Amino acid sequence: MTWRDDSSPSQSCFKDGHSYRDGFKFVNAQGCTEWQCRHGTITYNSCPAPPHGCFKDGRTYPNHYQPAPDAAGCVEWQCENGKIRYNPCPAHKDGCWRNGYFYHDGFTKYTTDGRHCAIWQCSNGHIEYLGACPEKRQCRYRGRQYADGYKHYENGCATWMCSDGTIRWLGNCPSRRAQCEHNGALYSIGTRIEHFKHCATAECTKQNDGSAKFTCVLY
């Protein structure tokens, strides 16, 4: 299945406990548009049933299949005669349940069946589908968002990059000899300088963690 948003946002639709933007289309695995949101109204099309159950999120489920109930005891969807039927489960105050996982309010994620991609968000207890994924997706890493193609450098060496929504590691950078820094200049291990902070003489020494810093040898 895939999701598309072919028009500018105007009036969204509410269906089976989820909110969909105007222009949103639900296209099944056979390429047939089962329904779409048009100016606040859901319009349905006649699609032939798949030969073996229902196709959802990259998997095929047998007829009459339904997932385990959520924490509130509500079965979110079930497979009926080749189509996924969603049940209007009550909204959760602090987040959303989806495919057995709980997401906090405001959580945004890409989902794909291996061929198509959609972006959705947890909004006020409901899953809201926002349309198709952008061609070049951003990456989220350690709480920060990075643009596609971004490269992260450490000590002048690129360690990883953002590639279409995925962090790709570029390998280990070569080790660098420990050095001490003072007034913009670098000093090798064993170098002594005078009048360093409160020291009459300080020496660049290697620390247990592999770094280097000046330590007083004469006060």
Given a cut of 70, whether residue 49 has pLDDT beyond it is no
For residues 41 and 85, membership in a common domain is answered with yes
pTM higher than the cut 0.85? no
For residue 13, tell me if it sits in a domain. Answer: yes
Q: Looking at residues 102-109, what average pLDDT do you find? A: 78
Asked, for residue 33, whether it belongs to a domain, the answer is yes
Do residue 189 and residue 204 come from a single domain? yes
Which of these ranges, 2-11, 56-65, 69-78, 80-89, has the smallest mean pLDDT? 2-11
Residue 139: count of CB within 10 angstroms of its CB: 20
Our CA dihedral for 141, 146, 147, 153, rounded to 10 degrees, sits at -100
Whether residue 21 is found in the same domain as residue 45: yes
Q: Taking the CB of residue 40, how many other CB atoms lie within 10 A of it?
A: 11
More confident residue, 168 or 116: 168
Q: Is residue 174 part of a domain?
A: no
In the chain, the number of structural domains is 3
Residues 6 or more apart from 206 whose CB is under 8 A from it? Answer: 178, 189, 212
Tokens of 195: 């009048």
Residue numbers of the domain that contains 161: 139-169
Q: pLDDT tens digit string along 122-155?
A: 888 778 887 777 767 778 777 788 888 898 887 6
165 lies in the same domain as 208: no
